[in-house]
Amino acid sequence: MTTVHERVDTFHDNDQKPVGYGRMLRKEDPRFLRGRGRYVDDVQLPGMLHLAILRSPVAHARIVSIDTSAAEASPGVKAVVTGAMLAQQNLAWMPTLSNDVQAVLATDKVRFQGQEVAFVVAEDRYAARDALELIDVEYDVLDPVIDARRALESDAPLIRDDLDGKTNNHCFDWETGDEAATEAVFARADVVVSQDLVYPRVHPAPMETCGAVADYDAVDGKLRLWSTTQAPHAHRTLYAIVAGLPEHKIQVISPDIGGGFGNKVPIYPGYVCAIVASIVTGKPVKWMEDRSENLISTGFARDYIMRGEIAATRDGRILGIRTNVLADHGAFNGTAAPVKYPAGFFGVFTGSYDIEAAYCKMTAVYTNKAPGGVAYACSFRITEAVYLVERIVDCLADELGMDPAELRLKNFIQPEQFPYTTKTGWVYDSGNYEPTMRLAMEMAGYDELRREQAEKRARGELMGIGIAFFTEAVGAGPRKDMDILGLGMADGCELRVHPTGKAVVRLSVQSQGQGHETTFAQIVAEEIGIPPADIEVLHGDTDNTPFGLGTYGSRSTPVSGAAAALVARKVRDKARIIASGMLEVSVADLEWERGAFHVAGDPGRSVTIQDIALRAHGAGDLPEGIEGGLEAQICYNPSNLTYPHGAYICVVDIDPGTAQVTVRRFIAVDDCGTRINPMIIEGQVHGGLTDGVGMALMEMIAFDEDGNCLGASLMDYLIPTSLEVPDWETGFTVTPSPHHPIGAKGVGESATVGSPPAIVNAVIDALKPFGVRHADMPLTPSRVWDAMRGQARPPI
Amino acid sequence: MQVPAPFEYERATSVDHAISLLERLGGTARLIAGGHSLLPMMKLRLANFDYLIDINDLHGELGYVEAGPDEVRIGALTRHRELLESPVLAAAFPIFADAERVIADPVVRNRGTLGGSLCQADPSEDLSAVCTTLDARCVIRGPGGAERVVSMEDFHVGPYETAVADDEILVEIRLPVRPGCGSAYAKVERRAGDWAVVSAGAAVWLDGGAIVDARVGLAAVGPNTTGIPAISAALRGQEPSESLYEQAGAIAADSCDPVTDQRGSADYKRHLAAELTRRTLRRAVERARS
Ligand SMILES: Cc1cc2nc3c(=O)[nH]c(=O)nc-3n(C[C@H](O)[C@H](O)[C@H](O)COP(=O)(O)OP(=O)(O)OC[C@H]3O[C@@H](n4cnc5c(N)ncnc54)[C@H](O)[C@@H]3O)c2cc1C
């Protein structure tokens, strides 16, 4: 349920479908609602075998020996493969998305609990799984490094002895901003506040786990791979590079995907194992990991230990922000981010504020934990950045005794300052922050809430109001700056109008629930006037779609959305020329009105886009120099990122006896520029807000001191349900992006980015009577109770 | 998909048939009721059994809630949902509906059973705490139809261990009915459907203004759900009051033995034992009076 601030007309399917932008039901939903979606695990091929992976039970150990003989003799088993066997083909290691390497199957050591050690291929899933228990691995257990703070101590065990010359667990250093200038503003500031913050390791935990069906045809040399990937084209190119298969002989198919959240960006060892297994056995091979495997071995998110510092004048003018980060990257650096951005887009930690100086120093380390560091609905580490700035701004408000809303309003970048270059070098394209903030405050009834809070405090009740204001950087990205392993982050798009005026648009991005089949049809419809129902959206199959980098980091609308609009304009330009021939007037005398050209000053003389399509394919001459057909293709290279923003206000109540937090209200005002389908936007926001409740209040992938993962099932790793969330109250403002063809900014991750600090700020606000200034996530009842007694401690 | 190791499966057609199968197959066999505790363990391969004996067809025989003059009798195969919706229990022991509302989710409650909950003997099992609070008697049937009746204290031998032998089956729970009763249950969980961080049940029996008897049962604070005789002793003969609840809470905190884990610290759980004891006693007294 939701309360939409600006009441939008309710609509009925079938009658009021917009031709272009507007609220309409999702075209893909009938398939999902009727159980007719087709996911990787639904793929059944004749003679298909099943693969199961043996994983390390310990976090750090040398492999002494592996005996596979009993497993090989087990009924139904077709092959048992170890790292040593892969090494013979030079396939034991593969590159990660961050120019590191990762073991496909361990050869020398295991480096995290759950690491892939061997695999079995058998006639069915049960036989494969049973045979795993018969593989005998002898481990020589080593001390693990679990706490990132210990990783760089001189006596810490060395994790990456596979890397030549490596003598410690250092992964990389990174800095941004101006250290000296920042030092100078801190030195002259009236007030400096500093706060240690931990953003714990969390997991995307999509409903569908990762998996693949590999089908290698030895006769034509073609590999078909159905896999759970958010980036089918990038994966295909990487397989070509890793496995040495020619790229035109690889078809990656990403069918319906049951949630990604960044979890399905990397290439996992399991995919490679499935490919190897199909080549070895000559049969199609399916690998689907189970829930525990997904939680313990695939890409996590966050795991940043941060110190935030903020400098301001006594009257609340923010001068500078400084931060020091220790980043835990696990056993292999598998971060999915453009290569020049090892810390992703963390550089936007200066937030929405016009400040004088900023500086960040980051050290990243290896630990004996699962590798990754994925986008996870965080637009490349912006989640961490926004949490940092929005938490320390609240700490500053507390120090100054100022209302946190007022402090933010006082420091916003002003509308006339856009495009605004931040002190860390990001060029915010557009923004108008104050109206967004004011709308959220008005929807919340902010002053009234503060009055209620004062009354409740007087009665000993605990109520908190938390604010977060975020600016995101999404839509990676300009290819001069941004690439993943050398692949520029531009997106192709193809549009073909059929003779009867129906159309097909082919995208390089792949939906994992974002509603692309509707949104992209609407983008094309808006430009060319063909109803969305008449536009087929194809995606997810590399043989049938143009190249592009995939869906993550809220990039589909900013990048592929622009491509779709521009390709449609290209088709419209051609249609105009054909129309001029049909109407026997010059091109300049034609006026476009969505769906048809008419002669200027004579609306009666017109041809529709459908008429033109038929003409383009039909008999009779076309204007001079015009080829038949009505289609175009494009590759869009964004000139900048887009910068959505939003104002979130959260109201919590805390039971003073049990310390349980209830999120009573949540007001989310988002500005993602031009709004294509408001219903889909709201859906994205609802999902992200729910995600935020999870991270703020319950989610954490914890480890014990031996490196055992304590979040290996959904009984241990909690994700929120509808019972933990309030009725979301959403609203919006519209500040279009100036450089995006339709002014749209992307909204997939906004709510995940913005909600955790709003919720944490609300909890801390509620705990003010106890003198609490900070407590780290996850704010479970036990941890809130600690904070109430002055014993808040970091979760790691 | 998590898949269990191979096992053989048979559906029992009567209680005696189930017992004869157990007798023949011994410790490698397990009864399966709702399966919501057993199957997750088997899929995670934390438990492997060669044989499963499915007793779900015995619901006609073992699924009931019946009110008698001195006791309420509940069949072991009665499902969570039936307990939640039972008018007999709503009238006699509202603690059941309190607890059932916070046990798992509707899907689990449609299948999971009272007998399975008690036989699982998980220290966090809510229904164990409820039955402890109500001083339940467990009826266990063995080969040849022999029945014995044990108290909750004797039923739970240790974590995941009960008095039910390999060739026996729990058939019925009996709850003594005494006049002037009020009961309540409260649970702190990190999220709906999660197991308890701590939960507490309380029952009081009033006569006039005074407490004739009182019982408190706690879950998730020790190796078994615990009844706390010291609370009963402290409350008997007293007039209900806030300070009495305070005193009971303090006894609860002292007499439990929680451990620190992902759900919370031992200190916090001890605090909750006190807090929830106070809350449920207060509620139980209110209900007894109304
Ligand atoms: C997601 C989830 C959340 C849950 N949350 C909670 C919760 O919050 N609180 C809570 O208390 N429980 C919770 N449970 C457990 C739930 O209540 C189970 O249904 C219950 O624990 C077991 O009942 P069952 O009938 O499913 O037993 P089964 O799984 O079928 O059996 C459990 C054990 O009891 C034995 N057994 C079953 N019946 C008999 C009998 N008549 N005689 C002898 N032995 C028998 C079986 O052999 C087995 O060893 C949860 C379960 C799940 C899956």
Task: Read off the DSSP letter of residue A646.
Answer: E
Range of weakest confidence among A188-192, A319-323, A334-338: A334-338
* d(C-alpha A387, C-alpha B77), whole Å: 50
Cα B129 to chain center, whole Å?
5
* d(C-alpha A509, C-alpha A490), whole Å: 11
Contact status of B205 with chain A (Cβ, < 8 Å): no
Q: Is A729 helix (H, G, I), strand (E, B) or coil?
A: strand
Cβ of A658 within 8 Å of Cβ of B192? The answer is no
Cβ of B195 within 8 Å of Cβ of A715? The answer is yes
Evaluate whether residue A9 is within a structural domain: no
Q: What is the CATH number of the domain that holds A762?
A: 3.30.365.10
pLDDT of A16: 60
Q: Out of B19, B51, B107, B108, give the residue to mutate to test ligand 1, the one with the largest number of ligand atoms within 8 Å of its CB.
A: B108
The count of other CB atoms within 10 Å of the CB of residue A417 is 12
User: What percentage of chain B reaches a pLDDT higher than 90?
Assistant: 97
- For residue A538, give every residue at least 6 positions away whose Cβ sits within 8 Å of its Cβ, in sequence order, or none: A504, A505, A506, A507, A544, A545
| Same domain membership, residue A703 and residue A658 | yes
Q: Is the pLDDT of residue A485 over 90?
A: no
| Same domain membership, residue A649 and residue A623 | no
Evaluate whether residue A204 is within a structural domain: no
- Name the domain count of chain A: 3
Residue nearest atom 43 in ligand 1 by C-alpha distance: B169
Cβ of B2 within 8 Å of Cβ of A292? The answer is yes
Q: Residue A376: pLDDT band by 50, 70, 90 thresholds? A: low
Evaluate whether residue A306 is within a structural domain: yes
Delineate the domains of chain B, giving CATH numbers in brackets: 8-53 (3.30.43.10), 61-176 (3.30.465.10), 181-289 (3.30.390.50)
The domain boundary residue, chosen from A297, A312, A346: A297
Site residues for ligand 1, CB cut-off 6 Å: B 30-38, 40, 76, 103-104, 108, 112-113, 115-117, 119-120, 125-127, 164, 169-170, 193, 195
What's the average model confidence in pLDDT over A748-777?
97
Range of weakest confidence among A138-147, A333-342, A577-586: A333-342
Of A654, A460, A784, nearest in space to B268 by CA: A784
| Same domain membership, residue A774 and residue A644 | yes
Of A622, A673, A492, nearest in space to A570 by CA: A492
Evaluate whether residue A193 is within a structural domain: no
| Same domain membership, residue A332 and residue A472 | yes
**A–B interface: beta-carbon pairs under 8 A:** 64
Per residue in B187-231, pLDDT tens?
Answer: 999 999 999 999 999 999 999 999 999 999 999 998 877 779 999
Chain B residue numbers with beta carbons less than 8 Å from the beta carbon of A698 are: 190-191
Paired tokens of A547: 């190249």
Cβ of B279 within 8 Å of Cβ of A657? The answer is yes
Per residue in A272-298, pLDDT tens?
Answer: 999 999 999 999 999 999 999 999 999
Q: Which residue of A has its CA nearest to B272?
A: A658
pLDDT of A321: 98
pLDDT of A375: 61
Provide the pairing of β-strand A109-110 with A61-67: antiparallel
Instruction: Tell me the whole-structure pTM to 2 decimals.
Output: 0.97
Of A784, A409, A386, A467, nearest in space to A650 by CA: A467
Which one of B2, B3, B199 would you mutate to disrupt binding with A, by most A Cβ within 10 Å of its Cβ?
B3
- Decide: residue B52, CB within 10 A, 0-12 exposed, 13-18 middle, 19+ buried: buried
* d(C-alpha A787, C-alpha A766), whole Å: 11
Evaluate whether residue A197 is within a structural domain: no
Evaluate whether residue A148 is within a structural domain: no
Residue nearest atom 9 in ligand 1 by C-alpha distance: B103
| Same domain membership, residue A312 and residue A327 | yes
For residue B31, list its beta bridge partners. B53
The domain boundary residue, chosen from A601, A636, A671: A636
Chain A residue numbers with beta carbons less than 8 Å from the beta carbon of B5 are: 130, 133
Cβ of A724 within 8 Å of Cβ of B192? The answer is yes
Chain B, residues 44-103, CB within 8 A of chain A, namely 44-45
- CB-CB: which of B3, B262, B272 is closest to A658? B272
What's the average model confidence in pLDDT over A336-363?
95
Chain B residue numbers with beta carbons less than 8 Å from the beta carbon of A782 are: 197, 263-265, 268-269
CB neighbour burial string for A490-520, b if at least 16 within 10 angstroms, e if fewer: bbbbbbbbbeebbbbbbbbbbbbbbbbbbbb
Q: Is the pLDDT of residue A247 over 50?
A: yes
Contact status of B3 with chain A (Cβ, < 8 Å): yes
What's the average model confidence in pLDDT over A433-456?
98
Q: Is the pLDDT of residue A4 over 50?
A: no
Q: How far is A769 from chain B (nearest CA, A)?
A: 20
Average pLDDT, chain A: 95
Q: Are A696 and A762 in contact (CB under 8 A)?
A: no
Q: Is the pLDDT of residue A432 over 70?
A: yes
- CB-CB: which of B45, B195, B264 is closest to A782? B264
| Same domain membership, residue A428 and residue A550 | no
The domain boundary residue, chosen from A587, A620, A636: A636
Q: How far is A146 from chain B (nearest CA, A)?
A: 17
CB neighbour burial string for A582-617, b if at least 16 within 10 angstroms, e if fewer: bbebeeebbebeebbbbbeeeeebbbbbbbbbbbbe
| Same domain membership, residue A442 and residue A308 | yes
Contact status of B262 with chain A (Cβ, < 8 Å): yes
| Same domain membership, residue A666 and residue A543 | no
Q: Phi then psi for A669, rounded to 5 degrees?
A: -110, 115
Q: How far is A571 from chain B (nearest CA, A)?
A: 46
* d(C-alpha B85, C-alpha A330), whole Å: 49
Q: Residue A1: pLDDT band by 50, 70, 90 thresholds? A: very low
Q: Which residue of A has its CA nearest to B48?
A: A130
The per-residue DSSP string of A7-30 comes to PPPP--TTTS--SSSS----TTHH
The per-residue DSSP string of A393-456 comes to HHHHHHHHT--HHHHHHHHBPPGGG-SEE-TTS-EE----HHHHHHHHHHHHTHHHHHHHHHHH
Q: Is the pLDDT of residue A78 over 60?
A: yes
* d(C-alpha A237, C-alpha A350), whole Å: 36
What's the average model confidence in pLDDT over A744-768?
97
Q: Phi then psi for A561, rounded to 5 degrees?
A: -65, -40
Of A439, A436, A409, A393, nearest in space to A644 by CA: A436
What's the average model confidence in pLDDT over A719-735?
97
Provide the residue count of chain B.
290
Chain A residue numbers with beta carbons less than 8 Å from the beta carbon of B195 are: 715
| Same domain membership, residue A310 and residue A375 | yes
Atom of ligand 1 nearest to the CA of B40: 53
Atom of ligand 1 nearest to the CA of A715: 1
| Same domain membership, residue A217 and residue A80 | yes
Evaluate whether residue A165 is within a structural domain: no
Q: Residue A243: pLDDT band by 50, 70, 90 thresholds? A: confident
Contact status of A656 with chain B (Cβ, < 8 Å): no
pLDDT of B1: 81
- CB-CB: which of B191, B269, B279 is closest to A718? B191
pLDDT of A717: 96
Q: What is the CATH number of the domain that holds A236?
A: 3.90.1170.50
| Same domain membership, residue A437 and residue A365 | yes
Q: pLDDT digit of tens for each residue in chain B (290 aa)?
A: 899 999 999 999 999 999 999 999 988 999 999 999 999 999 999 999 999 999 999 999 999 999 999 999 999 999 999 999 999 999 999 999 999 999 999 999 999 999 999 999 999 999 999 999 999 999 999 999 999 999 999 999 999 999 999 999 999 999 999 999 999 999 999 999 999 999 999 999 999 999 999 999 999 998 877 779 999 999 999 999 999 999 999 999 999 999 999 999 999 999 999 999 999 999 999 999 98
* d(C-alpha A590, C-alpha A599), whole Å: 5
How far apart are the CA of B112 and the centre of ligand 1, in A?
6
Atom of ligand 1 nearest to the CA of B104: 5
* d(C-alpha A315, C-alpha A411), whole Å: 11
pLDDT of A76: 98
Q: Supply the range of the domain harboring residue A748.
A: 300-476+640-788
User: What percentage of chain A reaches a pLDDT higher than 70?
Assistant: 97
Q: Out of B19, B31, B80, B102, give the residue to mutate to test ligand 1, the one with the largest number of ligand atoms within 8 Å of its CB.
A: B31
How far apart are the CA of A522 and the centre of ligand 1, in A?
50
Atom of ligand 1 nearest to the CA of B102: 8
Evaluate whether residue A234 is within a structural domain: yes
pLDDT of A373: 67
| Same domain membership, residue A684 and residue A784 | yes
Chain A residue numbers with beta carbons less than 8 Å from the beta carbon of B6 are: 126, 130
Residue nearest atom 6 in ligand 1 by C-alpha distance: B104
Per residue in A608-642, pLDDT tens?
Answer: 999 999 999 999 899 999 999 999 999 999 999 99
Contact status of A74 with chain B (Cβ, < 8 Å): no
Atom of ligand 1 nearest to the CA of B113: 25
The count of other CB atoms within 10 Å of the CB of residue A469 is 30
Q: Residue A2: pLDDT band by 50, 70, 90 thresholds? A: very low
Q: How far is A88 from chain B (nearest CA, A)?
A: 31
Paired tokens of A367: 């630990």
Q: How far is CA B285 from CA A410, B88, B92, B280, in A?
A: 54, 20, 14, 8
How far apart are the CA of A256 and the centre of ligand 1, in A?
35
Contact status of A660 with chain B (Cβ, < 8 Å): yes
Paired tokens of A726: 């309030």
Q: Phi then psi for A500, rounded to 5 degrees?
A: -85, 10
Q: Which residue of A has its CA nearest to B43?
A: A290
Q: Are B182 and B203 in contact (CB under 8 A)?
A: yes
Q: Which value does ipTM take for this structure?
A: 0.97
Cβ of B265 within 8 Å of Cβ of A782? The answer is yes
Chain B residue numbers with beta carbons less than 8 Å from the beta carbon of A696 are: none
